[in-house]
Structure 1
Amino acid sequence: MNRRISTALSDLVLALSAVWGFRMLSENRTADFQFGKWWFMLMTMAASLGVARFGALLPSYEAGIVKYHMVFSWLCRAIGVPCLAAEVCKYYTFTTAGQGFLLSAVATFITSSLRSSYKEKVTDLINGLSVIMILVLGITGGNACLIITSVLFMLSGIVGVEGDIELLKLPRVDVFHYILVGINCFVVWGFQN
């Protein structure tokens, strides 16, 4: 197993930020945030598996850890991001649009279970629409934190997870994880507005 300490560390920070985000939404007395919590739960699972994978913590289970890390990372995109958009819609009382994002998460999941060749395209489309909705509602609601959340989502797509950023001398996946930490913080702060 190839140990990558910087990536294990960035996954650990990401997992801690996701646990913190889940806790903050759970303790908020103004709303239930049931859909937003899915984002944080899936992120916690994916990042925790990333710590085990890149830290080479359980070499005997390497194949399973790699597989489930990839599955939960995809679930963050396929279900977590649309659930986050649904929560933002609910927060701004656009319940029909929120239900649409929940249905889109289900549709993405079904598309993947059919082993469709469109799995990634559908996931990318739903993610793009989710981020645009968060941006639009952030702008119309005057919520700078949700606007920043959307910008960080776009930046994470640009950074990606393959290769290195030579200027920073860091793997792209590490920078990607730290951007997700920022997203987690701004999501929580956005719901506190």
Structure 2
Amino acid sequence: MARQISTALSDLLLCIVAFYVSYKWYHANRMKAAVGISIQATAAFLGIFRFAMSNPEGGIIYKSHKFMSWLAAGAGVPLIAMDFCARYESAMLANKIAIFLLAVVVVAAFLPPKTQEVATQAASGFSMLVILILCFIHKNYLGLGAGVTYVVAGLVFSSEGSILGLPKVDWLHYALIMGNYLFLRSI
């Protein structure tokens, strides 16, 4: 894989925004959400270097970025959802997310890669569904917009290829930036 400077740039912007959101959530005492978005920021930080390299495959940066990206989806999104549950006093849903999160993280080490991916998508998808439902019930339109942005970004931009000459992964990063800003304003 050749250098992807546009992707390194989109990761840089995602990293900055995600760390900013984490900082704001930390000071608002939204600790689970701050940790969740920090995982995404760390993945983006590693992505800056991965995509700026001319041949990253197999190296420590490549492996670290892949792991942190997996962790951002499998643990980061559920942690954000748990803070939505706390905001709307839904301990039952928060407990279900916590159990799902723990199960995915613990058993993922023993699963084949394809099954790992499905388990991660299930944890992330369930968490996003909880966010969407809670935001809909409580008329939190910014949270609803953030959730929809994340879902659409994951469905449309998660595969290989390009749109308007820009790699889909860049579009994914820009959509996550927008979703993160909406999430910041919503809890």
Q: TM-score range by the shorter chain?
A: over 0.9
1:36 counterpart residue number: 33
- Shift of residue 61 of structure 1? 9.7
Q: 1:60 to 1:145 in 2, by over 3 A?
A: closer
Shift of 1:165: 3.1
Distance 2:51 2:85 in 1: 35
Write out aligned runs for 1:10-29 (5 A).
10-28=10-28
Q: Quote the RMSD (CA, aligned, Å).
A: 1.9
d(CA) in 2 for partners of 1:104 and 1:132? 13
Identify the residue that residue 133 of structure 1 maps to in structure 2: 130
Give the gaps of 5 or more residues in structure 1.
Answer: none
Superposed CA offset, 1:5-55 (max 9, x none): 100000000000111101111222xxx211101221101110000001111
Bigger mean CA offset, 116-125 vs 63-72: 116-125
Contact residue 53 and residue 62 of structure 1 kept, 8 A: no
2:80 to 74, 80, 84: 84
- Structure 2 residue identity aligned to 1:114: F
CA contact (8 A) 1:162 1:171 kept: no
Match of residue 143, structure 2, among 136, 143, 146: 146
Which position in structure 2 is the counterpart of 1:114? 110
Find the partner of 1:100 among 85, 89, 96: 96
The superposition leaves residues 56-104 of structure 1 with CA deviations (integer Å, 9 ceiling, x where unpaired) of 29x7997100000000000001101111111111110001211221221
SS at match of 2:98: helix
Moved over 3 A (4+): 59-62
Q: Give TM-score, length-normalised by structure 2.
A: 0.92
Residues 111 and 118, structure 1, Cα contact 8 Å, conserved in 2: no
Structure 1 pair 60–124 and aligned structure 2 pair: CA distance change class (3 A): closer
Q: Which amino acid aligns with 2:149?
A: L
Partner of 1:124: 121
Read off the aligned partner of 1:42 and give its amino acid letter: I
1:72 is aligned, of 68, 75, 85, to 68
Choose which of 34, 47, 51 in structure 1 pairs with 2:48: 51
- How far does residue 146 in structure 1 lie from its aligned partner after superposition? 0.7
- Whether the 8 Å contact between 1:162 and 1:172 is mirrored in structure 2 is yes
Q: Tell me the CA shift for residue 163 of structure 1.
A: 2.6
Equivalent residues, number: 186
Aligned counterparts of 1:110 and 1:44: Cα–Cα separation in 2: 22
Match of 1:169 in 2: 165
Cα distance, 1:164 vs. partner?
2.6
Question: Which sections of structure 2, spanning at least 5 residues, go unmatched?
Answer: none
8 Å Cα contact 2:78/2:97 also seen in 1: yes
- Amino acid aligned to 1:137: L
Report the residue type matching 2:131 in the other structure.
I
Code of the aligned partner of 2:94 = G
